Amino acid sequence: MKQASVAITLRRCAKTFDHGQRALRPVDLSVAAGETVVLLGPSGCGKTTMLRLIAGLERPDPGGTVLFDGEDVTQQPIESRQVGMVFQSYALFPNMTVRGNIGYGLRIRRLPAAEITRRVDELLDLMRLREFAERAVNRLSGGQRQRVALARALAPRPRVLLLDEPLTALDAQLRETLRVEMNSLLRQLGITTVYVTHDQAEAMALGDRIVVMSAGRIEQAGTPREIYYSPASLAVARFIGTLNRLAGEVRDGRFHCAGCAAPIALPRRLPPGGAMWFRPEDARIVPHAEANLVGRVLQAVFLGDRTRLTVGEIGDAPVLVDVPGRADLAPSGSIGLAIAPDAWLCLPEDAA
């Protein structure tokens, strides 16, 4: 099932809409052949505009170029770019059956009927839709519609697969299941994929690389691990995962704060803001003697795989700490927390 795919390059692509609104500032982006890149950001950050530039549904402002494997496709409309697209609304054709929808791109290409049937059957099997083949699309569940939309996009063997929040319309439980399926499907197909989402869990699970965007700019591009452990800015760090801010001050090259058991050695030069950051799962509960921080449990919420503690009397605001679910904690006890030296994040205050 491996498909031929292309590398995508955007060069100085900006987009200003008719009414003068700047949706995208000039950006550069490269997607390797076969790679899955996730564009992540809040609504209005320009991620969908970037996807539509790649698709050919929008043209970049003069000066911007879109290349597929080095070939300039900037002026090509979407119908000749050979891209597969999946929309948030699925956009299934209500006047066609499941089979009709999946085969539409092949009929447009005037392939022989036998070949269309063969290819559609192949996709029906891949997507476990065989039993729904002759059903009207409005009689499908959300998850089934999503799979039909994906099969339809894949049927003409596109060079690039573009997905615009394909799981957003589904409910939480189903979204998690489909995220896993989508991941193994994309690995299996090995097709160049650009995936737009505002859900960081989805981005982490699916992306070879994640491109974090905000206000029409690329804030950071990197592997999920790079983005999570070395966020380029506070905005990125806040958007990816949960983050605790520990306010304090630097004296004698060490960090002092309320609740600090002992001054903390600075892992890197602390920027002027005077705060350090850590993630809830990077704090371990330890005896007071070994603790970096000592505080009081204000609330403990059992979440199954973990318990989320709200710990007060540290810094200037309560911090969140995740401990394994089986740990049984009476709220309101005093606890010691240890944070490994490499788990501290130092971020510029202003970047928020």
Partner 1 sequence: LRGMMLAPAVAIFAAFWLLPMAALARISAGDGLAGYLAILTNARYLRSLATTLALAGGVTLTALALSLIAGLFLARRRFPGRHALIAMLTLPLAFPGVVVGFMVIMLAGRQGLLADAAAALFGHRVVFAYSLGGLFLGYLYFSIPRVILTLMAAAEKLDPALEEAARSLGASSWQVLRDVVLPALAPALAAASALCFATAVGAFGTAFTLATDINVLPMVIYTAFTLNADLLTAATLSLVLGAVTWLVLAWA
Q: Is 301 in the site for its own copies (CB under 8 A)?
A: yes
Q: Is 204 in the site for its own copies (CB under 8 A)?
A: yes
How far apart CA 101 and CA 350 sit, in angstroms, is 50
Range 103-139 burial, b when 16+ CB lie within 10 A, else e = bbbbeeeebeeeebeebbeebbebbebeebeeeebee
C-beta closer to partner 1: residue 17 or 302: 17
Question: Beta-carbon neighbour count of residue 265 at 10 Å?
Answer: 11
Contacts to its own copies from residues 272-291, by CB under 8 A = 279-282
Q: Is 146 in the site for its own copies (CB under 8 A)?
A: no
The one of its own copies, partner 1, none whose footprint includes residue 131, by CB under 5 to 8 A per kind, is: none
CB 340 within 8 Å of CB 282:
yes
C-beta closer to its own copies: residue 51 or 204: 204
- CA proximity to 53, closest of 43, 42, 32, 39: 39
Q: What's the one-letter identity of residue 219? A: E
For its own copies, what does the binding mask look like between residues 328 and 347, x meaning CB under 8 A?
---------------x----
Provide, rounded to whole angstroms, the least separation between the CB of residue 124 and its own copies: 24
Provide, rounded to whole angstroms, the least separation between the CB of residue 253 and its own copies: 26
Contacts to its own copies from residues 220-279, by CB under 8 A = 223-225, 228-229, 240-241, 279
CA 50, distance to chain mean position in Å, is 15
The one of partner 1, its own copies, none whose footprint includes residue 109, by CB under 5 to 8 A per kind, is: partner 1
C-beta closer to its own copies: residue 112 or 333: 333
Segment lying near its own copies (by CB under 8 A), choices 77-85, 107-115, 270-278, 323-331: 323-331
How far apart CA 295 and CA 303 sit, in angstroms, is 21
Q: Is 183 in the site for its own copies (CB under 8 A)?
A: yes
The one of its own copies, partner 1, none whose footprint includes residue 184, by CB under 5 to 8 A per kind, is: its own copies
Provide, rounded to whole angstroms, the least separation between the CB of residue 108 and partner 1: 5
The one of its own copies, partner 1, none whose footprint includes residue 218, by CB under 5 to 8 A per kind, is: none
C-beta closer to its own copies: residue 108 or 301: 301
The one of its own copies, partner 1, none whose footprint includes residue 17, by CB under 5 to 8 A per kind, is: none
Chain residues binding partner 1 by CB under 8 A are 18, 55, 57, 77-80, 82-85, 87-89, 91-95, 104-105, 108-109, 149, 152-153, 156, 162
Question: Which are the contacts of 326, defined by CB distance < 8 A and separation ≥ 6?
Answer: none
C-beta closer to its own copies: residue 86 or 240: 240
The one of its own copies, partner 1, none whose footprint includes residue 133, by CB under 5 to 8 A per kind, is: none
CB 66 within 8 Å of CB 13:
yes
Q: Is 302 in the site for its own copies (CB under 8 A)?
A: yes
- CA proximity to 242, closest of 258, 254, 231, 253: 231
Total binding residues toward its own copies, as defined by CB under 8 A: 38
Provide, rounded to whole angstroms, the least separation between the CB of residue 45 and its own copies: 13
Which residues are at the interface with its own copies (CB under 8 A)? 42, 168, 171-173, 175, 183-184, 187, 198-201, 204-205, 223-225, 228-229, 240-241, 279-282, 299, 301-306, 322, 324-326, 343
